[in-house]
Structure 1
């Protein structure tokens, strides 16, 4: 199996389990995350700011895609928000585009929600 695909799976499992220290072990020091059209932010800050919210989501990972011509892994997944007093739960389909550096560490994560 493609080593980048293996790393992306490990990262995603750690992310879904809320194991932020393990998540950080797969990232470059300067890894950036961009969610939708929001401004990119350093991954360590992104996970610190969103850890509580992320822990309330239910994730379903459908597939991981790679291309021999690309330095990227695409992750097809969805997440479901919890019911709250203000809102009913929603399921949002999304794609992660994960880019790697030459040492196979995650350099960039772009999340594209389909809302």
Structure 2
């Protein structure tokens, strides 16, 4: 994985997994992706204000796709913690909840220092 990429994997439960972590820097690519093995059928990402494009994006499993969305950390985003949400459908099986979604909270920590090279 490149040094300029932070991946946020969305699990079926809506849990978020950050790789390598949730610290980002100016010009860094942030990739939101549905977990191919245990992801929800759809998820709507409401991006944090530190990214260039702040419009919500809906990800879908194939064949509807796309399963991932990339955006850049804005070059003028101040160092701070930026919250975002991901909406995933509630697990199937409960007829009262099947048309509802669950909102998971995440955050990205913007720093002005990119990671050091090994």
Is the shorter-chain TM-score for this pair beyond 0.5, marking a shared fold? no
More strand by share: 2
TM-score, with normalisation over the residues of structure 1? 0.36
More helix by share: 1
